[in-house]
Amino acid sequence: MELIKVWDIPGGVHPPENKHQSMAEPLGYIDIPPQLILPVSQHIGAPAKPIVSVGQKVLGGEVVAEADGVFSANVHAPTSGTIAAIVEHLVPHPSGMRDTCVIIDTDGKDEWVALSPWEDFAERDHDDIIKRIRDCGIAGLGGAGFPSAVKLNPRANHTIDTLIINGTECEPYITADDMLMRERAEDIVAGTQILARLLHNPAKVIIGIEDNKPEAIERVRKAAEGTDILVVSFPTKYPSGGEKQLIQILTGREVPSGQIPATIGVVCQNVGTTAAIYRALRYGEPLVKRITTVVGEALEQQRNIEVLLGTPVHYVLDKHGFNDKKASRLVMGGPMMGFALPDTSVPVVKTTNCLLAPSKKELPPPEPAMACIRCGMCAEACPAELLPQQLFWYAQAEDLEKLETHNLFDCIECGACSYVCPSHIPLVQYYRAAKGEIRQHRIDKEKSDRSRRRFEFRQERIAKEEAEKEAKRLARKKAAEEAKKKLAEQKAAAPAEASAAQAPASAVDADKQKAKLERLLASAQESLKKAREPLADDATDEQREKQAARIKQAELKVSEAQKKLNESHPGEGTSAGNDPVAAAIERAKAKQTMDPADKLRASIESLQKRLEKAEQKAADAERDKPDMADALKQGAIKLQEKIAAAKQELADLAPPKSAPSQSHSEKPVSASTDAAQAAIERAKAKMSMAPDEKLRSSLESLYKRLEKAEQKAATAQQEGSDKAEALQQGVDKLKEKITSTQKELAELTPTTVAEETPQDPATSDAASLAIEKAKAKAAAMATMSVADKLRNQVDSLEARLEKARSKLAQAEQDNDDNLDAFKTGVSKLEDKLAATREQLAEHE
Amino acid sequence: MALTRITSPHTHRALGTGAVMRNVVLATLPGLAVLTYFFGLGTLHNVLLASAAALGFEAAVMKLRSRPVWFYLRDCSALVTGVLLGLALPPYCPWWLVVLGSAVAIILAKQLYGGMGFNPFNPAMVAYVVLLISFPLQMSQWAAPQDIGGQTPGVIEALKLIWLGSPIDGYTAATPLDTVKQNSSLMLDALYLQDPVLSAGQFVGAGWEWANVAFLLGGLYLLYRRIFTWHAPAAMLASLSLMAFLFYDGGSSQSGGSVLFHLFSGATMLGAFFIVTDPVSSAVSTRGRLIYGAAIGVLVYVIRIWGNYPDGVAFAVLLLNFAAPFIDYYTLPRTYGHKKSERATRKVDQ
């Protein structure tokens, strides 16, 4: 007999063993009960699925509920009978919960299916053996009910060097394993050999037994003679039988927190399980019965019995003279870790190692808990080396974080701390509750994390879709441009017709731009003029310097504006070079067909150039010959007046021009534009949900409404109806709406609108209207002072910004696709407004 | 059939909190007997009065808090506080000092924090320090031991001293700690020959040495009964011995006194086994208690030799009461299956 070093575990307690009561009698048997209740979940893992139907006849050993996956176990009929029901029934569980049970009315004949014994079980294939262990529904009989096949089939990366067969049985009162070891030591040894083979013959195969079971040790040693199995006994101490503790005692190793013993090369099986595995392999017997200790002073007879799984507890108790008046409680399992049964109707299951029916004197009801005095007795008793008093403290405070830092989840709930607590605090109960709370917290966190991820993913997806839409939009724009180009080419091919068509086609665009540039020029000139205003005699050098700088800046602006204006109308300016007058004459000669508006524009241009020069002269004179300055200034003012007049003329001219532009494009050139028109129409059709189209359609309907409203208003006025005013107001409002919609449309897709308006008969009307307004405004502005202009501009910008903002808010609420476009619109407007305000401030 | 639902474990060790406390009281009896033998009835009177007052205040507060009075008196924690305070106070001190001390201990130091188990400081030591700072005169007059020729007051005189406030001057003598602290001219050997209290003793000083031996015995009894672990008291005595050894300097006039002198004078043994072991206000883990005890030992020596007070147990204990939660944070034991011990300051991702 080889000797093996035995380690000690920290902590532990020595409660009264109370093992003798149930060992006085030999192993007993009770009759088959009239009814068996078989829970589908007698093991850890997925509940088995019932595969029988009510009324069906079953034989002993027949599967009534099938393992659901690997992490599950079959449930067999322990004897023959009829399936009475498959219902929710009270099951042995600390919570007193109900679970699905297959209920069998036994027939007493105990007829069995034909079992298939394996004489040569030792030579069988590894996979066959695992399969049979699984088929026979073997789960850990020690207490947890871990499906044995899973444990015996460790992962490839776990090399098992130690197999431990647990015969410790450290809980007081329980003697089921003790009895088994005495009665069936050979089964255990044979089973151990099989397990060793399954695990590829680990270096050490140990059967560990506490030293308070000398008879069992003797019997097992004898049975193990001639084998490599080491039968090791070690000092009695609770909870040596805990898997982790037993591994520590026999190997000195610790199972890392949160992992299984296989990670340190150890597999641990209970002696009962080992014997059951042997019987399953050798005789083909499924797990349908087990040895259970029936003990406690509330019973007349205390002993170990072999009992069919599913036997109701009350049936067992009745057979042992249970006196319910004497009993303080009924415990399934031992006094340290067992749980009090809510009712005697629960059945015996695979993990039922003991039924304890103590008298009130034996296990008196718990004393009321007192305050924790932090005496530390619990910490001394803890086999996991936790600080139970601190855990208790944090559990009361629901400080989940501190509970985790104090390693709550390493608590094995052995109850040693509660056992020693002088204040009778039910510590384990607090830990169980806290664990549950943390688990719930984790689940909640997982849930919220998941939804957060989902949200983020959605945002990403929306952004992606947005980008795709943007790309499509660009493609559409390109298509439209191409269509336009095509149109231009067609026009070039047919210049006679095209000349008429081109002018109106680009007129609106060009006019608009020109008006803008002209405005710019006017304002630049105005500021130049202001800058040139003579300073008071007593002006300081600094002021003069400033003025010079201002003049220079203004001049720069004017020339820039001029240049831009020239560039945008190359036909008018490029060839003119530096001599605007000559250029004007040249232009006038070259373009006899030029329409009056263009002529006017040209004259304005030349006038402005003259003005510039005049002003320059005036400024020079101011510096050199003050007496001549006044006269020169007068000339400049006159020139300015002339410019304003010319602009007014131009503005007056513009409306009739845009009106015919429509008819021009529709009537005479319809043949040449049709193809392009069609292309554009197609492109537009593709823009299924484009917001600008929406806006356009709304504009359309608005126009229709406006027309009707105007008609109504007119008739009402004619008839002198008192409704006339109200109707007129409605018309005004509609007009307002139209302009705002137009603005929006322009802001949203300025380029598209600008390009498409000429071709779009529905909106060209509106566009021309807008242009008209803009021109009128430009004209009006030309005569206004700079400050007033700026003020006007600020006002209109403010109004536009407000509208844009409300639109943006609306878009935000609706989570519009064009949110970004609105946003940039608003920010652009804001910038513009700020700039204009600055200018205004400068002027005032 | 419906049955009682009780969670596991279903069995409990017999030793309850009340029994723990009664064991502590029992273990003080040898010390009390020796003190009474050497210094007369003063200490016994202190203990009885302080215990009665402590129980009275406890009952009153429980009544005010609408708690079952008897249930809480039965845990005997107030009794222990009263006994320890009574032992610590000078014999024949005025009655009001004792009652006031009991009130401070029970009401201020214990119940205001929530009662038993919730007080961060040792109630008896809080009371002792409050009295020492508030009434230095009454708190520093210790009776002379009977061995040195002087007489201890009889029953009548004792009651007069305590209840009527008769002058106690005739009965007092400097304690060994006082004598050594105030000595600046004599070698320790010479001092031992000259001073009446020191010379009358066997190895430290009349009365004090035996009182400390008695408390040591009481402490050993509690250790045997596994009422507390050896860690804190052993660490305290070890660190105090080490300090005394380091600064002994062979017994010059500047010497702090020998190791034996420090171990068996003043409140060393009472402190080590009855105050330092108070579980409520001490560190909780084994390692924590070692640090806690050792720090108290060092502080006791520091206060005795370089501080203003002749003895420093109460101050040292209170200072370490402050530090106990901090010590706890950094001395969690290594849990089964973990490579190293955690710190309570670790952040957990939940």
* Beta strands A98-106 and A81-90, pairing class: antiparallel
Give the model confidence (pLDDT) of B90-109 as tens digits.
988 999 999 999 999 999 99
User: B70 and chain A: CB distance < 8 Å anywhere?
Assistant: no
For B25, phi and psi rounded to 5 degrees? -60, -45
Q: What is the largest CA-CA distance in chain A?
A: 142
Residue B154 and residue B138 share a domain: yes
Q: Which residue of A has its CA nearest to B6?
A: A340
Pair A290, A272: CB distance under 8 Å: yes
Q: Which of A52-61, A508-517, A555-564 has the lowest mean pLDDT?
A: A508-517
- How many angstroms separate the Cα of A381 from the Cα of each of A14, A237, A417? 10, 11, 6
Please tell me if residue A92 touches chain B, with a CB cutoff of 8 Å.
Answer: no
Judged on CB neighbours under 10 Å (0-12, 13-18, 19+), B266 is: buried
CATH (domain of A267): 3.40.50.11540
Does this model's pTM top 0.90? My answer is no
Spatial contact of A23 and A175, defined as CB atoms under 8 Å apart: yes
A548 Cβ contact list (under 8 Å, min separation 6): none
Alpha carbon of residue B99 to chain centroid? 18
Domain that holds residue A201: 20-356
Q: Which of B145, B173, B201 is the last residue of a domain?
A: B173
How far from A317 is each of A94, A236, A300, A311, A343, CA to CA, in Å?
Answer: 19, 30, 10, 11, 12
Whether residue A329 and residue B229 make contact (CB cut-off 8 A), yes or no, is no
Contact A374 B5 (CB under 8 A): no
Average pLDDT for residues B106-124, to the nearest whole number? 93
In this structure, are B178 and B309 located in the same domain?
Answer: yes
A428 has a chain B CB within 8 A of its CB: yes
A442 and B350 Cβ atoms separated by less than 8 Å:
yes
What is the model's pLDDT at position A797? 84
**How far from each other are the two terminal CA atoms of chain B, in whole angstroms?**
43
What is the pLDDT, as a whole number, of residue A667? 42
Angle at B295 between CA B293 and CA B296, to 5 degrees: 65
**Inside any domain, residue A831:** no
* Residue B164, SS3 per DSSP: helix
Task: Please check the confidence at residue A595 and state whether its pLDDT lies above 70.
Answer: no
Query: Which residue do the tokens 């068509």 mark?
Result: A501
The residue type at B265: S
The CA-based angle B63-B69-B72, given to 5 degrees, is 125
CA-nearest residue to B281 within chain A is A374
Residue A785's φ and ψ, nearest 5 degrees, are -75, 160
Residue A289 included in any domain: yes
For A339, phi then psi, to 5°, come to: -120, 145
Q: How many CB pairs under 8 A join A and B?
A: 191
Query: How confident is the model at residue A309, as a pLDDT?
Result: 94
| End residue of a domain, out of B127, B146, B173 | B173
Percent of chain B with pLDDT over 90: 50
- Residue A233's H or E segment, with its range, is strand A230-234
Q: Residue A324: what pLDDT?
A: 85
Q: Both B114 and B181 in a single domain?
A: no
Domain boundary among B146, B173, B200: B173
Instruction: Please list the helix, strand and coil fractions of chain B in percent, rounded to the nearest 5, in that order.
Output: 60, 0, 35
My answer on whether B102 and B206 are in the same domain is no
Query: Who has greater pLDDT, A578 or B286?
Result: B286
Query: Domain for residue B1, yes or no?
Result: no
Residues 6+ apart with CB under 8 A from A532: A551, A554, A615, A618, A619, A622
Please check whether residue A94 touches B, CB under 8 A.
Answer: yes
Token reading at A598 = 């263009």
Q: Are residues B206 and B227 in the same domain?
A: yes
Among A339, A343, A358, beta carbon nearest to B1: A343
Classify residue A652: in a domain, yes or no: no
Are residue B20 and residue B169 in the same domain, yes or no?
yes
Residue A33 lies in a domain: yes
The contacts of residue A456 (CB under 8 Å, 6+ apart) are none
Output DSSP code: residue A346.
Answer: P
Burial-class residue A654 by CB neighbours within 10 Å (0-12, 13-18, 19+): buried
Q: How far is CA A12 from CA A15, A170, A501, B229, B289, in A?
A: 10, 11, 103, 15, 20
Residue A148 sits at the vertex; the CA angle it makes with A144 and A151, to the nearest 5 degrees, is 95
Amino acid residing at A144: A
Please give the sequence-ordered ranges of beta strands (E in DSSP) within A457-520, or none if there are none: none
Rg (CA), chain A: 50
- Is B237 inside any structural domain? yes
Domain identity same for B302 and B222 = yes
Helical packing angle, A427-493 and A495-532, nearest 10°: 110
Cα–Cα dist A44/A146, whole Å: 5
Alpha carbon distance B124, B270 (integer Å): 12
Instruction: Assess contact for B301 and B244: CB atoms under 8 A.
Output: yes
Beta bridge partners of A292: A305
The kind and range of the H/E element at B37 are helix B17-39
| Cα separation, A304 vs A295, whole angstroms | 8
Q: Is the pLDDT of residue B65 over 50?
A: yes
B340 touches chain A (CB under 8 A): no
Residue B343 lies in a domain: no
Q: For residue A629, what are the contacts with CB-CB under 8 A and spacing of at least 6?
A: A534, A618, A621, A622
pLDDT tens-place string over residues B192-241? 877 777 777 777 778 888 999 999 999 999 999 988 999 999 999 999 99
B180 and B169, same domain (yes or no): no
Given a contact cutoff of 8 angstroms between Cβ atoms, the answer to whether B177 and B261 are in contact is no
Whether residues B92 and B179 share a domain: the answer is no
Select from B6, B227, B335 the Cβ nearest to the Cβ of A384. B335
Q: Specify the 3-state DSSP secondary structure of A436.
A: helix
With beta carbons under 8 A apart, name residues in chain A contacting B4.
328-329, 340, 365
- Same domain, yes or no: B253 and B321: yes
Question: What ipTM does the predicted assembly reach?
Answer: 0.86
Mean pLDDT, range B5-24, rounded to an integer: 87
> Quick one: pLDDT band at residue A320, thresholds 50, 70, 90?
very high
* CB contact at 8 A, A139 and A151: no
Among chain B residues, CA nearest to A432? B7
> Residue range B54-60: average pLDDT?
96
Three-class HEC string of B223-258: HHCCCCCCHHHHHHHHHHHHHHHHCCCCCCCCCCCC
8 A C-beta contact, residue A308 and residue A288: yes
Once rounded to an integer, what is the mean pLDDT over residues A119-128?
86
Reading the block at residue A107, the tokens are: 């027939």
Tokens 């384990």, residue located: A428
Percent with pLDDT over 90 in chain A: 42
A431 assigned to some structural domain: no
Does residue B2 sit within a domain? Answer: no
Does residue B4 belong to the interface with chain A, where contact is any CB pair within 8 Å?
yes
Is A91 inside a domain boundary? yes
Whether the predicted pLDDT of A264 surpasses 70: yes
- Residue A773 forms part of a structural domain: no
**Which of 560-619 (A) contact B at CB < 8 A?**
none
* Nearest neighbour of B333 by CB, restricted to A340, A341, A387: A387
- When divided into structural domains, chain B yields a total of 2
Interface with A, mutate which of B334, B335, B349 (most A CBs under 10 A):
B335
Which of B288, B290, B310 is closest to B301 using CA atoms?
Answer: B310
User: Greatest CA separation found in chain B?
Assistant: 86
Confidence of residue A392 (pLDDT cuts 50, 70, 90): very high
Would you say residue B350 lies in a domain? no
Whether A12 contacts A47, CB under 8 Å: no
The closest of A225, A219, A214 to A185, measured between CA atoms, is A219
In the numeric block, the tokens 């007059």 are attached to B141
- My answer on whether B224 and B317 are in the same domain is yes
Nearest to B293 by CA among B214, B224, B235: B235
Query: What pLDDT score does A122 carry?
Result: 81
Domain housing B29? 16-173
Burial letters B122-137, b for 16+ CB under 10 A, else e = bbbbbbbbbbbeebee
* CB-based contact B350 A15, cutoff 8 Å: no
The total number of residues written for chain B in this structure: 350
Q: What is the distance between the alpha carbons of residues A455 and A451, in angstroms, rounded to a whole number? A: 6
Q: Which residue of B has its CA nearest to A424?
A: B16
H or E, element range at A508: helix A495-532
Q: Of the candidates A333, A374, A390, which has its C-beta nearest B279's C-beta?
A: A374
Is residue A794 situated within a structural domain?
A: no
Is residue A2 a contact partner of residue A227, using CB atoms and an 8 Å limit? no
Q: What is the pLDDT of residues B149-199, one digit of tens each?
A: 567 788 888 888 888 887 777 777 778 888 888 877 788 888 887 777 777
Classified as helix, coil or strand, A89 is: strand
Helix (H, G, I), strand (E, B) or coil at A331: strand
Distance CA A216, CA A27 (A): 14
What percentage of chain A carries pLDDT values higher than 70? 79
Judged by a CB distance cut-off of 8 A, whether residue B156 touches chain A is: no
Query: For chain A, how many residues are written?
Result: 844
Per the structure, the count of domains in chain A is 1
| Res. A337: pLDDT tops 60 | yes
Q: How far is CA A411 from CA A379, A428, A435, B311, B349, in A?
A: 12, 9, 10, 44, 20
Position A625 confidence tier, pLDDT thresholds 50, 70, 90: low
Other C-beta atoms closer than 10 Å to the C-beta of A137 total 28
Half-sphere exposure of A810 (CA within 13 A, CB side): 7
Same domain, B206 and B167: no
How far A277 CA lies from chain B's nearest CA (Å)?
Answer: 30
Reported confidence tier of residue A573, pLDDT bands at 50, 70, 90: very low
Main-chain phi, psi angles of A346, to 5 degrees: -70, 150
Assigned domain for B276 exists: yes
